[in-house]
Amino acid sequence: MKNDAERIVPVILSGGSGTRLWPLSTVERPKQFLALTDPVQSMFQLTLARCADPNLFAAPIIVANARHGVIIGEQLDACAIAPRAIILEPAPRNTAPAIALAAFEAGDDALLLVMPSDHRIADTAAFVAAVTSAAPAARQGALVTFGIEPTHAETGYGYIARGDAVADHPGVFAVDRFVEKPDADRAQAMLDSGDYLWNAGIFLFSARRYLDALAHHEPDIERCARSAVDRAERTGAIVTPDATTFETSPSQSIDYGVMERSDNVVTVPLSCGWSDVGSWDAIADLAGVDSAGNYVHAEGLRVSLAGVSDMIVVATGDEVMIVPRGQSQLVRGLAEASREKTK
């Protein structure tokens, strides 16, 4: 078994507002804590399992919304996983500050694998193989982003333009540029070219390399995160950064704050059955639908459909949500309206 210095530290980001998969997903229990892509385990637990090999990975660091501390503890216990730290953010400040908290907690020499907690990866072996192939470049100072081999002309994702192969690092490529979410025609052109990957928001780099880049491009974020960790309260594995300090941090994503502005950014293409599970349409595609194209998820209620097609129906508790397939972006508005009514 590798020693702690050689093993990769998983950093699992577990925020979320619980609106895109409402009414099943809520602010109190967002989608990563639900068993949506597996009969038993939540997506959070599946993310933990993905990096559980002690020969490759150290104990995880989890960065989460403070309100979800109890749920995280329950789901960790169910998996018999002892984390290195559970960092409970006093306020949401996007991914760049969240990762900075984890980097300071891990220490300069740690190699960090940063993952959202709410993605589906069907082929764990392919994922681990990609991480393993990326590790030497990351240890030499590269900021690695994993790009998903696209399967269709998707307009809902950002893209990575893959450049030349990196010498001495098989499977690693330079990043020419990052591309914002395209329209349909441009998405098709990028797919046809074979030179573009979906930006999955999964990264590998050393804590020091990330913090150096952050200090260069977003010094206020680096300063606030450093101070918040220095002044954090600690109870066992629970780390609560200083709220007064952290709340003054700018809110910024790692993509805009670091990756798109840094040198030595590389990508590793990945084909692993990935989905960001970002909508009920995505869930319907993963689960399959009936012959009329309907997808129904009901808990505690009997739902019957007749004479309709291509509908998404979700019923739980005292909420029933119905939208046409292909229009699940409307769910966010329904969730926000429901939340206002219950205030």
Mean predicted confidence (pLDDT) in 45-55: 95
| Lowest mean pLDDT segment, chosen from 10-24, 133-147, 195-209 | 10-24
Q: Residue 290: pLDDT above 80?
A: no
- Count the residues in the chain: 343
Residue 332 has a pLDDT of 86
Domains of the chain by residue range: 8-275, 280-341
State pTM to two decimals.
0.92
Q: Which pLDDT value is given to residue 177?
A: 94
Residue 8 has pLDDT above 80, yes or no: yes
Q: What is the pLDDT of residue 339?
A: 76
CA dihedral 213, 121, 132, 216 (to 10 degrees): 0
18 compared with 128, residue with greater pLDDT: 128
- Fill in the amino acid letter for 184: A
Mean pLDDT across 61-78: 94
Task: Tell which wins on pLDDT, 205 or 279.
Answer: 205
Per-chain mean pLDDT for the chain: 92
Q: Give the pLDDT of residue 27.
A: 86
Between the alpha carbon of residue 264 and those of residues 176, 177, 205, 250, the distances in Å are: 11, 12, 11, 24
pLDDT grade, residue 243 (50/70/90)? Answer: very high
Higher confidence at residue 38 or residue 142? 142
Looking at the chain, the whole-number percentage of residues with pLDDT higher than 70 is 97
Q: Would the CA dihedral through 242, 245, 247, 250 be positive or negative? A: negative
pLDDT tops 90 at residue 39? no
Average pLDDT over residues 138-166: 94
pLDDT tens column, 51-67? 999 999 999 999 999 99
Kindly tell me if the per-residue pLDDT of 160 is higher than 80.
yes
Determine the pLDDT at residue 309. Answer: 92
Span 70-91, average pLDDT: 95
Q: What is the pLDDT of residue 302?
A: 87
Classify domain 8-275 at the CATH class level: alpha beta
Is residue 343 pLDDT above 80, yes or no?
Answer: no
> Which of the four pLDDT bands, split at 50, 70 and 90, describes residue 156?
confident
Distance from C-alpha of 293 to C-alpha of 270, rounded to nearest angstrom: 30
**Tens of pLDDT, residues 172-194:** 999 999 999 999 999 999 999 99
User: Which pLDDT does position 68 carry in this prediction?
Assistant: 92
pLDDT at 171 over 70: yes
